[in-house]
């Protein structure tokens, strides 16, 4: 038979009510199960009420007031204790291990390791961070390190993040590198490989600053900058503030002309990603070069492959417009006709 722990002294109950003492957790458990101690706690609450407060002095009303005051005190002390024992990382960092999508009856909850498609509704996290996904965006929660509060793994596509300011870092991990931030708004895109070009990580900072680290080095990305990271390399910074227009689309296309004339190679994926931000101006530059009979054979093939990565809809439209006859533009070399036919059959 278990023996009941003796009741604490009135001084200990008073210390409990005032949040003092080192035995709060055991005391709360005891008081919650002991009618006599709850009565002492209620009397303390009654006697320490503000002088200006209305305090009934007799009968049922006074007893009801005492019970209510005792309940409030017990609840406040319990919340205080629970807040002190919540799991925290060193330095007061509270790790994030859950995410929510949607609301009301349709709310979904996700834990560590679960793939989360975030191309629709925004994902919400307990620290106030919000993640909105681009098409094909898939993330999962990882285990925070001692300096992190939130660790995300970007598996595909892209995400836009609005990171709440709080203790601990927020990290976005990808297969090419990682992005670390303390509080800002930024976008992360993981561009898949296309043809002989490699995959590419793109980070754009809308507000604040982030650190991007790859196998070859680290760079700090400021507001209105983009960082591009290719496999095995170090981040390369570019200005993101330039508005879409024919001037920048032409300059980027000229840089791609030089890369493609040399046989493609490093930088092509980055330049295509930059050209994508030029919208329709960049697409028109790409289409015009695919159809330019004055260009050598292989640069035209590389421009078509770049168009497929730049804007698949425009590539499909180009194939449809030139589907008749030999499967490519009039006078197109065999390799371009073959590339267009393969893309048309495989889409």
**What pLDDT was estimated at residue 316?**
87
Q: What totals of helices (H) and strands (E) does the chain contain, helices first?
A: 10, 15
Report the alpha-carbon distance of residue 18 to residue 12 in Å, rounded. Answer: 10
With CA atoms as reference, report the closest residue to 214 among 163, 180, 169.
180
Q: Which residue ranges of the chain lie beneath pLDDT 70?
A: 1-5, 9-33, 35-91, 182-183, 195-196, 241-243, 264-266, 323-331, 347
Contact predicate 127/133, CB 8 Å: no
Q: What is the pLDDT of residue 242?
A: 63
pLDDT at 194: 73
Q: What are phi and psi of 272, to 5 degrees?
A: -65, -40
Q: What is the pLDDT of residue 18?
A: 52
Which CATH code of 3.40.718.10, 2.60.120.1440, 1.10.3720.10, 3.30.565.10 fits the domain covering 94-239?
2.60.120.1440
* For the chain, domain boundaries: 10-85, 94-239, 246-346
**CA 65, CA 57: separation in Å to the nearest integer?**
10
54, two tokens: 């209305």
Identify whether the C-beta of residue 129 lies closer than 8 Å to the C-beta of residue 158: no
Give residue 125's pLDDT: 94
Q: Is the pTM of this model over 0.75?
A: no
* Tokens found for residue 294: 């004055």
Strand partners, 160: 132, 187
Contact by Cβ (8 Å): 23, 12? yes
Q: Can you spell out the DSSP letters for 135-174?
A: TT-EEEEE---TTEEEEEEEEEEEEEEEPPP-SSEEEEE-
> CA-to-CA distance for 40 and 22, rounded, in angstroms?
19
pLDDT of residue 133: 85
pLDDT, position 184: 82
């Amino acid at each position: 038979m278990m023996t009941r722990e003796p009741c604490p002294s009135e001084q200990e109950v008073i210390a409990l009510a005032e949040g003092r003492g080192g035995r709060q957790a055991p005391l709360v458990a005891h008081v919650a199960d002991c009618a006599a101690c709850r009565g002492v706690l209620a009397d303390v609450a009654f006697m320490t009420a503000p002088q200006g407060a209305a305090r009934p002095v007799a009968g049922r009303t006074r007893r009801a007031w005492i019970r209510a005051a005792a309940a409030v005190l017990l609840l406040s002390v319990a919340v205080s204790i629970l807040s002190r024992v919540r799991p925290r990382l060193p330095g007061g960092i509270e790790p994030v291990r859950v995410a929510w999508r949607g609301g009301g009856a349709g709310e979904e909850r996700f834990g560590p390791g679960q793939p989360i498609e975030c191309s629709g509704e925004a994902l919400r996290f307990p620290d106030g961070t919000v993640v909105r996904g681009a098409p094909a965006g898939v993330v999962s929660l990882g285990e925070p390190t001692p300096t992190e509060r939130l660790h995300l793994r970007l598996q595909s596509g892209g995400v836009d993040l609005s990171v709440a300011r709080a203790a601990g870092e927020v990290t976005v991990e990808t297969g090419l590198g990682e992005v670390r931030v303390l509080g800002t708004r930024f976008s992360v895109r993981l561009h898949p490989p296309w043809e002989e070009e490699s995959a590419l990580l793109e980070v754009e900072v809308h507000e604040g600053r982030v650190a991007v680290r790859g196998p070859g080095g680290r760079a700090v990305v400021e507001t209105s900058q983009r960082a591009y990271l290719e496999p095995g390399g170090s981040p390369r910074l570019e200005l993101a503030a330039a508005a879409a227009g024919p001037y920048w689309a032409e300059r980027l296309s000229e840089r791609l002309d030089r890369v493609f004339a040399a046989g493609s190679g490093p930088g092509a994926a980055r330049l295509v990603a930059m050209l994508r931000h030029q919208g329709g101006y960049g697409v028109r530059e790409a289409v015009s070069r695919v159809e330019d009979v004055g260009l050598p054979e292989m640069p035209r093939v590389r421009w078509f492959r770049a168009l497929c990565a730049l804007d698949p809809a425009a590539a499909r439209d180009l194939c449809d417009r030139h589907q008749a006859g030999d499967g490519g533009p009039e006078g197109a070399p065999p390799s371009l006709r073959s590339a267009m036919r393969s893309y048309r059959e495989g889409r």
